[in-house]
Copies of this chain bind each other. A is one copy, B any other.
């Protein structure tokens, strides 16, 4: 848990290629580099998969059986900014220019070296980070900026201790849902403290003193008696 990343997931890559051998190769290579790989064997399926999977990056073969590659790029670009790297056997310059102008981010001619492919993928993904708007949780007068690790109440910045912040972070990322005592205890203090709800209560109390307008009548950090705690999410 250190670097800020787009989401929290390992990057998803969609591979659109009609040759089974290439799909297999890329699948292996990419997965062993820590990516989650989705496969599609023609243009229509690729478009459908892109909409369904919302990949972080698309590897697209230009020579598809059903649709022209440039057409696929154009259709994708109608609704998505996801980086597209084109893979193609065509050396003709017109093809490259066409693909790039249609909105592709990069163009690699087969056969390509795997290290170069991976470097270009890293580059494209790196560029997307930072453009993504950072999610800020808001409810009541409370604002929690997870990316900046900043909490404020009614515009006033608030100082939280590490444990307090960690509790709040868990609640925010499951806003609206109940987190049981055991869930909170195990994720913050570890399995050994499962039967010691006291330490959790003290921290919840301290947290409320900081983030609630009236700590004695909580409106955000709610107790679910006998179960756990819940953070009220705004409608």
- A177 partner, pick from B116, B149, B161, B224, beta carbons under 8 A: B149
A100 touches B127 (CB 8 A): no
A 164-185 to B, binary, CB cutoff 8 A, 1 in contact else 0: 0100000000001110101100
> How many A residues touch B, CB cutoff 8 Å?
42
Instruction: Flag whether A212 is at the interface (Cβ < 8 A).
Output: no
Of the listed stretches A19-27, A51-59, A118-126, A202-210, chain B binds A118-126
Interface contact B100-A2, CB-CB below 8 Å: no
Contacts of A183 in B (CB 8 A): 2-3
Whether B127 contacts A101 by the Cβ 8 Å rule is no
In contact, A2 and B122 (Cβ under 8 angstroms):
no
Given contacts A2-B180, A161-B226, contact A105 B127 (CB under 8 A): yes
The answer to whether A119 and B96 have CB atoms under 8 Å apart is: yes
Contact B116 A96 (CB under 8 A): yes
A100 x B123 contact (CB < 8 A)? yes
Q: Which residues of chain B come closer than 8 Å to A115, judged between CB atoms?
A: 93-94, 97
Residues in B with CB closer than 8 Å to A227 are 149, 162, 165
Inter-chain CA distance A100–B162, complex, in Å, is 37
| Beta-carbon contact of A148 and B127 below 8 Å | no
Query: What CA separation (Å) do A21 and B3 show in the bound complex?
Result: 39
Excluding A97-B118, A162-B227, 6 further A-B contacts by CB distance (< 8 Å) are A96-B119, A101-B122, A131-B131, A148-B177, A150-B176, A162-B225
